[in-house]
Amino acid sequence: MPLDDLSSVRTVDELTAAAAGLDLTPGWVNRPVPILWKEPKSDFRVHQWKWSVARAGLDSAARLIGTDLAERRNLIMRNPIPGNDLATLRTLICAYQTILPGETARSHRHTPHAFRAILESQGAWSIVNGEKHPMETGDVVLTPGWSWHGHGHDGDAQAYWFDGLDVPLTHLLEPMFFEEHPAGLEPVRAVTPDSPFRFTWGATQKALDETRPDDGGFFGRRIALDTQTMPTIGIHMQRWQSGFRSRPYRCTANQIFVVMQGHGASQIGGEAIDWSFGDTIAVPGWTSIEHHAKDDAVLVSMTDEFLQRWTKYWRFESLA
């Protein structure tokens, strides 16, 4: 029988073997890993990165590595699962980054969408598509995909921030492009402190003041920042008063929490996690979450929730 002629096979075993030789996988054979399963599961783990540890690493990097040698001076938060050398969660990646007074980080652009939550900064700035705006402590700054962006620092003290991107999702879908700016640092066309890509600490706190706690008791006071220009990443700012304890829940979205103020403890996937300023916590989808604020706390979270809502994959479940 010719290799590609399946018309004359006489048994199921012959058909199975012949199909396999043609890179066809019969759907009737038992598979070690099923195609479908009852509910979400992830190889990625709940994990916490402590800011006190990462900050010390960034300080060492600032002594040892200049921006002339590194496109960005950062420490990527790699989820500790076998075979993973990059991703924080399935669709998301995050890092801590620093820049010294007087430095610039040259401009580039790439397909992945990105944002920054500024942990400590006075005098740092970003240029996005030729428009320069500040990056001050507490700000959230967007960089939509394929936007030129570079950074600099005119202040007196080292600046630090959290980076969040959808690089793993871009790797999965494969539309990756990257380009360095021919001028090194993109020239400034305009200075725009009120850039639509910048959400200041003062503005988000005012919005939280004007927002009621959610009726379900899951999130406290929470607002969604406008990320329509980068729809694969959702960003929430949430505030919890001292003593706040959320109702437990789980949802299909991957979520990463960054502590901007305060300290507390969470039960995530049955694991007790104490957190404080600057810490980052990665939570894979369909993992139980319960938060407790030990004093007034503000957190930023990034999520693929809005992408999942658009694809009709989103599901939420109260656990109490």
Pick from 202, 227, 246: which residue ends a domain?
202
Q: Domain for residue 218, yes or no? A: yes
Mean of pLDDT values over 81-93: 97
Q: Which residues contact 250 (CB under 8 A, 6 or more apart)?
A: 286, 287, 288, 289, 316, 317, 319
Structural domain total, the chain: 2
Q: Are residues 227 and 88 in the same domain?
A: no
Mean of pLDDT values over 47-66: 96
Q: Are residues 154 and 222 in the same domain?
A: no
Helix/strand/coil for 229:
coil
Q: Are residues 224 and 283 in the same domain?
A: yes
Q: From CA 22, how far away is CA 60, in angstroms rounded?
A: 54
At residue 2, the pLDDT reads 55
Q: Domain for residue 22, yes or no? A: no
88 and 169 Cβ atoms separated by less than 8 Å: no
The rounded percent of the chain whose pLDDT value lies above 70 is 99
DSSP β-ladder status, 131-135 and 190-191: parallel
For residue range 12-41, list pLDDT tens digits in order.
999 998 888 889 999 888 888 889 999 999
Q: Are residues 190 and 236 in the same domain?
A: no
Residue 291 maps to which CATH number? 2.60.120.10
If pLDDT is split at 50, 70 and 90, which confidence band does 225 have? very high
Q: Domain for residue 28, yes or no? A: no
Q: Read off the tokens for 303.
A: 């999520």
For residue range 93-129, list pLDDT tens digits in order.
999 999 999 999 999 999 999 999 999 999 999 999 9
Within 13 Å, how many C-alpha atoms sit on residue 52's CB side?
A: 3
Q: 179: domain range? A: 47-202
Q: Are residues 249 and 312 in the same domain?
A: yes
Q: Are residues 192 and 219 in the same domain?
A: no
Q: Are residues 88 and 148 in the same domain?
A: yes
CB atoms within 10 A of CB 238: 24
Q: From CA 188, how far away is CA 143, in angstroms rounded?
A: 16
Pick from 186, 202, 218: which residue ends a domain?
202
For residue range 231-259, list pLDDT tens digits in order.
999 999 999 999 999 999 999 999 999 99
Q: Domain for residue 13, yes or no? A: no
At residue 32, the pLDDT reads 87
Q: Are residues 70 and 158 in the same domain?
A: yes
At residue 4, the pLDDT reads 65
Q: Are residues 154 and 173 in the same domain?
A: yes
Q: Domain for residue 20, yes or no? A: no
Q: Are residues 75 and 195 in the same domain?
A: yes
DSSP output for 269-318: TTEEEEE-TT-EEEE-TT--EEEEESS-EEEEEEESHHHHHHTT---EEE
Pick from 169, 202, 235: which residue ends a domain?
202
Q: Which pTM value belongs to this model?
A: 0.95
At residue 3, the pLDDT reads 57
